[in-house]
Amino acid sequence: MKIDACGLSCPQPVVLTLNAIKENKRNLEVFVDTNIACENVQRLAESKGYDTKIDIAEGKFKIVLTKQE
């Protein structure tokens, strides 16, 4: 599942990510455009047991969240 949270200020990216986690999504890609939003989404994901990987391209952060079965 992809979540485009670019242009949204916190806590909106975190809330969108949390809603997807509550739907029991195991693989997510979250796109944000600020370092703060990136850090907050990463912190949330890791607190919920997800592994995170961050890629930065063209001023946007792509946070890949994966959770093992």
pLDDT at site 35: 95
Instruction: Give the start-to-end residue ranges of the domains of the chain.
Output: 2-66
Q: Output the tens digit of pLDDT for each of the chain's 69 residues.
A: 999 999 999 899 999 999 999 998 889 999 999 999 999 999 999 999 999 999 999 889 999 999 977
How far apart, in whole angstroms, are the C-alpha atoms of residue 64 and residue 27? Answer: 7
Residue 50 class from Cβ within 10 Å (0-12 exposed, 13-18 middle, 19+ buried)?
buried
CA atoms 23, 25, 63, 49: torsion sign? positive
Dist CA 15 CA 19 (whole Å): 6
Topology classification of domain 2-66: Translation Initiation Factor IF3 (3.30.110)
Q: What is the pTM of this model?
A: 0.93
* Cβ 28 vs Cβ 20: under 8 Å: yes
